[in-house]
Amino acid sequence: MNNKRRIAFVSVRYGLDINGGAELHCRMLAERLALRHDVEVLTTCVKDYVKGSNEYPAGEEAMNGVLVRRFAAAPPDHAGERRWLEMAKPARRLRMRLYQAGLLRAVSAFAGTWTWKLKEDVEAQKCTVFYSADLLRYLSEHRDSYDAFIVFSSNFPLFYFSAMAVGDKTLAVPLLHKMKASFRVSLDQAFSRIRYVGFNTDAEMKLGKDIFGTAIRDCGIIGTGIGLTAPAPWEQVRRKYSLPDRYALFIGRIDTDKTGRMAEYYSSYRKRYGDDALPLVVMGKTYEQEAAAEGMIYTGFVSEEDKRAMLLHARVLINPSEYESLSLVLLEAMHDRVPALVNGRCKVFRKHREKSGGAVQCYRGARDFISKLHKMDTDEAERLMMQEKGERYMKENYCWEIIMDRLEKALDKVSAAESK
């Protein structure tokens, strides 16, 4: 048994009412690690990442066995962010082009850590939502009070600034995607400081190595399991949200990064199959309004109990996002034997399909979406095959005993490096 440690998670948002996969991932790890160690979470007072206002009060609160320390974030400066990002763009664009040519990893190994346009990149991050000088000051002043820091989400400013302050005591969970923000020069600096990087999947780890190369000092797969909440009574949930007996389901933030062209493709599917088409229930908080198609039912944010009931009764889960490092909702669907249709442009999804032997289906374009959604709804043999393979894939790869053992071993590496 490992010695008891004092560990701080760093996450831009944290709370029972936060609708986000990264935040849920952080909370599940923190609550389970708190059964063995003294665990705290350092986070901001921001709840809505679009508005960026401090909706939670600053200070401390206990939440499911975890001490949460909240710090006020600075008001976002969108004009300043755009101005600094424009000045930083040449370096980011060069890194993207080198990556696309398959050269970034080799160039970085030869040239070392990137510094060109670093100042502009860092100034841009100071203007964004979630930048909290108070939190970063606390990190610097209390770094010796903790044995390790577990820092989440590379596409937010706390990742870079935490790495600069406590990188040698950090286990990072970057949740990396192939998107423009992943090619920032500041991230090259951050990864060069971080002691250990815990990726979710092989696909994410390969992406990290291809972008950052030797800047990543040590890394491995950690991943996460899922949290299972007892479902609310189905009839109660069905009446509450006026749900049909059969439906496809989307769960997540409603913005273009997550929903992609789902509404457009679903509209084409509905035109093709008419009254035989599955209605589409869209669950989650709306951050960016989209043009809804006929047959789409929006529920808004729902409780975990209602969410579980709705997932258990769905015919198909749809995840149209291109930007996933794991997808907790996909894992939940496989556990609950719900067939899933996902965006084939996402390498992580394609890897899930490959490793599971076909537990999920990937679509490429509207015609593929339409035909596969119809088949998954109507072909019972196909459904049974996906259900059995998904359930087996979850048991073999995402049980909590495996995940927590990986996390403890990663923390051992961080502690061993710190003691030298």
Q: Does 143 share its domain with 74?
A: yes
387 occurs within a structural domain: yes
Q: Does 381 share its domain with 404?
A: no
95 occurs within a structural domain: yes
Domain span holding position 317:
234-397
CATH of the domain at 52: 3.40.50.2000
What confidence category does residue 420 fall into, taking pLDDT thresholds of 50, 70 and 90? low
User: Which long-range contacts (C-beta less than 8 Å, at least 24 apart) are formed by 31-34?
Assistant: 31/64, 31/65, 31/66, 32/400, 32/404, 33/7, 33/404, 33/407, 34/64, 34/65, 34/66
What confidence category does residue 87 fall into, taking pLDDT thresholds of 50, 70 and 90? very high
Q: Does 109 share its domain with 180?
A: yes
pLDDT value at position 417? 67
Residue 359 pLDDT > 60: yes
With contact defined as beta carbons under 8 Å apart, do 12 and 128 qualify? no
Which residues are CB-neighbours of 274 under 8 A, at least 6 positions away? Answer: none
Residue-wise pLDDT for 156-190, tens only, equals 999 999 999 999 999 999 999 989 999 999 999 99
Which residues are CB-neighbours of 387 under 8 A, at least 6 positions away? Answer: 337, 338, 339
Rounded average pLDDT over 254-262:
89
Which carries the bigger pLDDT value, residue 87 or residue 324? 87
With contact defined as beta carbons under 8 Å apart, do 325 and 346 qualify? no
Residue 1 pLDDT > 60: no
Q: Does 49 share its domain with 168?
A: yes
pLDDT value at position 418? 65
Which carries the bigger pLDDT value, residue 2 or residue 184? 184
Q: What are the tokens at 6? A: 């004092």
Q: For the chain, how many structural domains are there in total?
A: 2
* One-letter amino acid of 117: K
Q: Does 147 share its domain with 170?
A: yes
Kindly give the residue spans of alpha helices, DSSP state H, lying in 112-248: 118-126, 133-142, 157-166, 185-193, 202-212, 234-241
Distance of CA 6 to the CA centre of its chain: 25
Residue-wise pLDDT for 91-127, tens only, equals 999 999 999 999 999 998 888 899 999 999 999 999 9
Nearest to 75 by CA among 157, 1, 130, 24: 130
Length, in residues, of the chain:
420
Element (H, E) at 262: helix 262-273
CA 67 to each of CA 34, 79, 179: distance values in angstroms, whole numbers, following the listed order: 10, 35, 33
Q: What percent of the chain has a predicted confidence (pLDDT) above 90?
A: 86
Q: Does 362 share its domain with 411?
A: no
Q: What's the chain's Rg over C-alpha atoms?
A: 22
Which residues are CB-neighbours of 52 under 8 A, at least 6 positions away? Answer: 46, 73, 75, 76, 129, 130
Q: Does 221 share its domain with 323?
A: no
Q: Does 170 share its domain with 189?
A: yes
Q: What percent of the chain has a predicted confidence (pLDDT) above 70?
A: 98
112 occurs within a structural domain: yes
71 occurs within a structural domain: yes
CA 142 to each of CA 135, 149, 328, 347: distance values in angstroms, whole numbers, following the listed order: 11, 11, 32, 39
39 occurs within a structural domain: yes
Q: What are the tokens at 62? A: 């206990």
As a whole number, the mean pLDDT across the chain is 94
Q: Does 380 share its domain with 404?
A: no
Q: Does 265 share its domain with 175?
A: no
Q: What are the tokens at 50? A: 């679009």
pLDDT value at position 27? 96
311 occurs within a structural domain: yes
Q: Does 172 share its domain with 137?
A: yes
Q: Does 177 share its domain with 96?
A: yes
pLDDT value at position 280? 97
Nearest to 40 by CA among 15, 65, 22, 75: 65
1 occurs within a structural domain: no
Rounded average pLDDT over 246-268:
93
Separation of alpha carbons 160 and 165, rounded Å: 9
Separation of alpha carbons 420 and 416, rounded Å: 7
Residue-wise pLDDT for 292-315, tens only, equals 778 999 999 899 999 999 999 999
